Amino acid sequence: MTTIASRIDGAPHVTFRKVQKTYDGENLIVRDLNLDIRRGEFLTLLGPSGSGKTTCLMMLAGFETPTSGEIRLGDKVINTVPPHKRNIGMVFQNYALFPHMTVSENLRFPLAIRKLPAAEIDKKVARALDMVQLGSFGDRYPQQMSGGQQQRVALARALVFDPELVLMDEPLGALDKQLREHMQIELKHIHEKLGITIVFVTHDQSEALTMSDRIAVFNQGIIQQLDDPTALYEKPANNFVANFIGENNALPGYVESVHGETCQVKLDNGARVQASLGNPVKRGDRTMLSVRPECVQLNVQSLGCANRLGGYVREVIYLGDHLRVRVELAGRKEIIVKAPAAQHKHRFDMGDAIHVGINPEQLRALDPAIGAPGAAP
């Protein structure tokens, strides 16, 4: 299988097979990593701090060696290839721009190592600087630039030697919110333009949702779910993902019966509801129902819903475009509801009785054992 062929038949660019990693011989930081990264995709590794994202990236870059398993680049096993021979671009969290070199010297560095002719180096450096809109900054030292500018230089440096794969470890972490959002879009455009494969690490879920083709959600050294942003948000595979991505209301209960794709669940507070199956659950199983706050309807809007529950308003927070309502259901169970402000202005107040409606498609029955802390994969 050649590289060309793999490009055509869509064979993965990077493959992790049964990769494990431990630093101390006791705790597995990466437990059983199986991951195919497609050529040209923007894949994000998302997960809480300490979940092993950086470790995975470092293994791919060659700075850490897997304890077992294999990593392939195209069809070549690269476990033993030293990092400087992997031809993988990398953007570090704190940029790691060489402080004793100017911006253009930083960019020339990888090209000079590759012994390119001077004229070509100049051309590539100029092109890379233009790409990140820093054409006139070549003579500056990194310390003379703002964080966002340094970030772009780091990006240009990782791209200037035309790697097919670029790794980024929380590259936007040090930027302020506005700049970060701007850079996310810019990064996405550069990715589309160059058609390279990007593996991006972050623990910011909105960043992951904004940029990625696919997202791998990490926890405790295993991938909890690998999916595109929509699926990840709308169809979380387990409790961990449901809670980690976006806001989630969890309602515990027992499965009373299963009918194809839906099931009937008796909540702990006694109410009976219809839910769609997230994980395979059986009759009598304990389940955790998951619903997004914006999928819960209030009062009039709840009329058409299959599941209707009664409750009391405990808190209303006005947030401009929407209201954030805390509703107490029977059994002291509280859920958060995001209601469009335009529909509900002044319709209810604290302490009012209220109707809550949830459609079964948006109420997913999940197996609480899957993805829970300490659970087996």
Partner 1 sequence: MREDNAMTQLTATLPRGMAAEAAVPLKTQLRRAERMKKLKYGALIAPLVVFLLFTFVWPITALLKRSVDNPEIVAAFPATSGLLRDWDGRSLPSDAVFASFADEMGKTRGTPVFASAAKRLNMELPGFRTLMMKTARAMPPTDGQTAREAFVAADERWGDVATWQYLGRNASPTTARYLLASVDRKYDDAGHVVQTDADEAIYVAVLKRTFGMSAVVTVFCLLLGFPLAYLMATQPARIANVLMIFVLLPFWTSILVRVAAWLVLLQSEGLVNQALRAVGLIEKPLQLVFNSTGVYIAMVHILLPFMILPMYSVMKGISPAYVRAAVSLGCPPFKSFWKVYFPQALPGVGAGGLLVFILCMGYYITPALLGSPKEQMASYFVAFYTNQTINWGMAAALSAILFAATLVLYMVYSRLVGRQELAAKAR
Report the partner that residue 133 touches, choosing among Mg ion, partner 1, ligand ATP, none (CB closer than 5 to 8 A by kind): none
Q: Select from 45-53, 150-158, 232-240, 350-358 the region that touches ligand ATP (CB under 6 A).
A: 45-53
- Is residue 251 within 8 A of residue 330, CB to CB? The reply is no
Q: Which is nearer to ligand ATP, 104 or 225 (CB)?
A: 225
Q: Select from 51-59, 98-106, 191-199, 207-215 the region that touches Mg ion (CB under 5 A).
A: 51-59
Q: Which is nearer to ligand ATP, 50 or 138 (CB)?
A: 50
Size of the site for ligand ATP (CB under 6 A): 11
Q: What is the 3-state secondary structure (H, E, C) of the chain?
A: CCHHHHHHHCCCCEEEEEEEEECCCCCEEEEEEEEEECCCCEEEEECCCCCCHHHHHHHHHCCCCCCEEEEEECCEECCCCCHHHCCEEEECCCCCCCCCCCHHHHHHHHHHHCCCCHHHHHHHHHHHHHHCCCHHHCCCCHHHCCHHHHHHHHHHHHHCCCCCEEEEECCCCCCCHHHHHHHHHHHHHHHHHHCCEEEEEECCHHHHHHHCCEEEEEECCEEEEEECHHHHHHCCCCHHHHHHCCCCEEEEEEEEEEECCEEEEEECCCCEEEEEECCCCCCCCEEEEEECHHHEEEHHHHHHCCEEEEEEEEEEEECCCEEEEEEEEHHHCEEEEEEEHHHHCCCCCCCCEEEEEECHHHCEEECCCCCCCCCCC
Among 55, 149, 212, 238, binds ligand ATP (CB under 6 A): 55
Among 11, 81, 96, 372, binds partner 1 (CB under 8 A): 96
Q: Select from 33-41, 43-51, 178-186, 262-270 the region that touches ligand ATP (CB under 6 A).
A: 43-51
Q: How far apart are CA 29 and CA 79, in angstroms?
A: 18
Looking at residues 198 to 227 of the shown chain, list those that interact with ligand ATP (rule: CB under 6 A): 203
For ligand ATP, the nearest residue by Cβ is 54
- Output the smallest distance, CB 190 to ligand ATP, in A: 23
Looking at residues 274 to 293 of the shown chain, list those that interact with partner 1 (rule: CB under 8 A): none
Among 23, 65, 77, 98, binds partner 1 (CB under 8 A): 98
- Residue 23 interacts with ligand ATP (CB under 6 A)? yes
Q: Which is nearer to Mg ion, 54 or 362 (CB)?
A: 54
Among 50, 246, 252, 368, binds ligand ATP (CB under 6 A): 50
Maximum Cα–Cα distance across the chain: 76
Q: How far apart are CA 111 and CA 106, in angstroms?
A: 10
Closest CA to 367 of 274, 253, 259: 253
Two structure tokens written together for 299: 């009062």
- Output the smallest distance, CB 53 to Mg ion, in A: 5
- Residue 168 interacts with ligand ATP (CB under 6 A)? no
Two structure tokens written together for 146: 């703002």
Q: How far is CA 188 from the centre of its chain?
A: 14
One character per residue 161-180, x = contact with partner 1 (rule: CB under 8 A): x-------------------
Report the partner that residue 88 touches, choosing among Mg ion, partner 1, ligand ATP, none (CB closer than 5 to 8 A by kind): partner 1
Among 5, 68, 75, 114, binds partner 1 (CB under 8 A): 114
- Residue 54 interacts with Mg ion (CB under 5 A)? yes
- Output the smallest distance, CB 39 to ligand ATP, in A: 25
- Is residue 199 within 8 A of residue 43, CB to CB? The reply is yes
- Is residue 107 within 8 A of residue 160, CB to CB? The reply is yes
- Residue 29 interacts with ligand ATP (CB under 6 A)? yes
Report the partner that residue 23 touches, choosing among ligand ATP, partner 1, Mg ion, none (CB closer than 5 to 8 A by kind): ligand ATP
- Output the smallest distance, CB 169 to Mg ion, in A: 6
- Is residue 306 within 8 A of residue 359, CB to CB? The reply is yes
Q: Which is nearer to partner 1, 95 or 348 (CB)?
A: 95
What is the binding site for ligand ATP (CB under 6 A)?
23, 29, 47, 49-55, 203
**Which spans of this chain sit near partner 1 (rule: CB under 8 A)?**
61, 63, 82-85, 87-90, 92-94, 96-100, 109-110, 113-114, 141, 143-144, 157-158, 161
